[in-house]
Chains A and B, each alone.
Chain A
């Protein structure tokens, strides 16, 4: 074996790659192709399925039938992404530039919520936002808000749940790009009579854009596909496309429609990412992610 490898050195990287890439091929790539095939099926689980390219109408039908849920997913996902950005940027900024010796501790506290179940955290929000919970209860007692005011089962609850759950995904990449900034550049801007805000606007912020880009993607992609927040904090009028996909796959066993919806979701995300990359002008997608 040793001599064989020494004689064929070029093979070493491929041997290292083979087992992992084989796994990803069989259990990621093949399923994706299978889903493309399934999306062009007609039939049912009991009677069996027939494949035909004529079934492209599965897509138009799915899009027509579930258009409100698609729109809602993009709106909720977009709103949550903007909110996480607004909360995360100052947080990442102060950890990077004012954190001092507490920097690592603060970073740890940002990711610490991940050490407990995503579902349990979301259920905690159900308690916090509850109709007579610790937040609304006192306000109602004081008469600040009407007693039938609700946060649960509204878009506000769903969006704030998504915002909370994906906040660390936005904070960490922004922190990483801010932390890399050579502070002498900011000092140089100030020496050249930029005021503090000017230096931030023209130097610090542009240099942190790769982090903003990566963070927005890491938030937006799972946020659009999320259905747990809509399920636990929302009501039937706040269902997102994830809820529909889950329902079609696991309850209705309607695999063709569900596959078509999944593909549309994936395509929508890819288009959004592409447009976003063009607007922002950063090609950090693969560089930042890989």
Chain B
């Protein structure tokens, strides 16, 4: 026991956060499970010279940065963002294109990251929730509206809702409440807090036009 009565965690140095510790465990787990696919012998390798064959080591444009990453052919964008690039703001809810928690924008269009092959976004501009704020920390108007209005309860669905709204507002910057509801209808909130979400997203639309 240390003097302040807290239990020392063996192997965990002061300054290591609980979040980073968990992230490390996740990364180690992902590496172990992924390696099963790396070394499986399949017909891979027979098709290297054929037109349309893909390389595994690719460069992605994520949140304005060029990220070199080793991507499995069967890997979804949500997996790459969360477990290869550490961008855990993109949530995995259903992993079946049925909840919207994983929504990111690809070339400004909202898509379900759980249902996009990472290889299919090569050369495209991927923005996740981490890429909205400016480098100096200034929040995106939609984020600011969410903070100001406290639009979510548990907020697990929040990154998806924010990205869906950001994408939708590019196609319709001045929506009616009904149009907005239709535009972000591809996202579910398990707390069923839709009225408040629509309230803050309408404010977000105003803020975005002013920005």
Q: Do they bind each other?
A: no
